[in-house]
Amino acid sequence: MSLVDRILKALPIKRKERPETRNVFVGIKPDDGAEEQRFPSNRIVSSKLIIDSPVSPITSGLPLAFVVILTALKQGYEDFLRHKADREVNRSPAYVFRDGNFVRVESHEIVVGDVVKVLSNEGIPCDMVMISSSSNDGECFITTANLDGETNLKKFRALLETKSFTNDETLTNLKMKIECEQPTTNLYKFIGTLNIFDGERKKVSLSSENVLLRGCCLKNTDFVMGCAIYTGQETKMGLNSRKSTIKFSRIEKTMNRFLIFYLCLLLFESALLVGLKHNFFSNDENKNLWYIDNEDSPSFKVIVEELLAFMILLNYTIPISMYVTVELQKFFGSMFFEWDREIYDPKTNEAARAITSDLNEELGQIEYLFTDKTGTLTENNMKFRQCSVNGIKFVDVYGKLCKKEKNIQPDPLRSYDEVIDLLKAVALCHTVRVEKVDKPNGVVNKGFSHEEECIPMSVLNDSADEADHNHNFQASSPDEKALVEACRDYGVIFQGTVDNVMKLKIGKTVKLYKLIHTLEFDPVRKRMSVMIQDERGDATLYVKGADSHIVPRLTGEKETVFSSCSDYAKDGLRTLVIAKKELSKSEFERDHEILTTAHNSVANRDENVALAYDQVERDLTLVGVTAVEDELQEGVPETLTSLRTAGIKVWVLTGDKEETAVNISYFAGHFDKNMQEMRLTNRISEEDCVEFLKQNKKILTDNVHGQYALIIDGHSLAIAQKCCRELLQEVCLLASTVLCCRMSPIQKADVVKLIKESKRHPTTAAIGDGANDVSMIQEAHVGIGLMGKEGRQAVRASDYAFGRFKFLRKAILVHGHYFYVRLAILVQYFFYKLMLETYYWCIPTCIGFLVTFIGYFVLTTIYSVANWPALFTPIFYRSFTRMCENHMWWLSILGLIVTCIVPDIVLRAIQDAKLGFKKSIYRRTSGRSIPYQRQEDYTDNNIPRNVTVVSNTVKGFANPSYDSAMESTHL
- Mind telling me the catalytic residues? 372
- Is 618 part of any known ligand binding site? no
What angle is formed at CA 182 by the lines to CA 177 and CA 186, rounded to 5 degrees?
Answer: 120
**HEC per residue, 590-645:** HHHHHHHHHHHCCCCHHHHHHHHHHHHCCCEEEEEEEEEEEEECCCHHHHHHHHHH
- Is 769 part of any known ligand binding site? yes
Q: Which run of H or E residues covers position 546? A: none
In Å, what is the CA distance from 571 to each residue of 76, 390, 515, 565, 673? 51, 20, 35, 10, 11
Q: Determine how many CB atoms are found less than 10 A away from the CB of residue 854.
A: 15
Please, which residues bridge with residue 533 across strands?
514, 539
**HEC per residue, 467-480:** HHHCCCEECCCHHH
What is the DSSP secondary-structure string of 67-101? HHHHHHHHHHHHHHHHHHHHHHHHT-EEEEEETTE
Nearest to 374 by CA among 737, 767, 639: 767
Backbone angles phi, psi at 846, to 5 degrees: -65, -20
Backbone angles phi, psi at 694, to 5 degrees: -65, -45
- Is 236 part of any known ligand binding site? no
In Å, what is the CA distance from 611 to each residue of 170, 531, 606, 607, 608? 40, 17, 9, 6, 5
- Is 175 part of any known ligand binding site? no
- Is 525 part of any known ligand binding site? no
- Is 374 part of any known ligand binding site? yes
- In the three-class reduction of DSSP (H, G, I as helix; E, B as strand; rest coil), residue 15 is classed as coil
In angstroms, the CA 971 to CA 966 distance is 9
Q: Which run of H or E residues covers position 465? A: none
Please, which residues bridge with residue 69 across strands?
none
- Is 79 part of any known ligand binding site? no
- In the three-class reduction of DSSP (H, G, I as helix; E, B as strand; rest coil), residue 694 is classed as helix
Q: Which run of H or E residues covers position 650? A: strand 649-653
Nearest to 445 by CA among 533, 513, 511: 511
Tell me how far apart the 2 most distant CA atoms of the chain are, in Å. 141
- Is 681 part of any known ligand binding site? no
In angstroms, the CA 780 to CA 371 distance is 11
Q: Which run of H or E residues covers position 855? A: helix 854-866
In angstroms, the CA 594 to CA 531 distance is 13
- Is 372 part of any known ligand binding site? yes
Please, which residues bridge with residue 494 across strands?
504
Task: Compute the radius of gyration of the chain from its Cα atoms.
Answer: 40
Nearest to 512 by CA among 536, 487, 544: 536
What contacts 428, CB < 8 A, 6 or more positions away?
494, 502, 504, 513, 530, 532, 542
**HEC per residue, 381-423:** EEEEEEEEECCEEEEEECCEEEECCCCCCCEECCECCCCHHHH
- Is 281 part of any known ligand binding site? no
State which amino acid sits at residue 369: L
- Is 109 part of any known ligand binding site? no
- Is 445 part of any known ligand binding site? no
- Is 25 part of any known ligand binding site? no
What contacts 802, CB < 8 A, 6 or more positions away?
343, 345, 350, 351, 352, 353, 784, 786, 787, 811
Counts of helices then strands in the chain (DSSP H, E): 33, 36
Both ends of the chain: CA-CA distance in Å?
A: 41
- Is 33 part of any known ligand binding site? no
- Is 87 part of any known ligand binding site? no
What percentage of the chain's residues is helix, strand, coil (to nearest 5)? 45, 20, 35
Q: Binding-site residues for Mg(2+), please?
A: 372, 374, 769, 773
Q: Binding-site residues for ATP, please?
A: 372-374, 480, 521, 544, 574, 654-656, 742, 748, 772-773
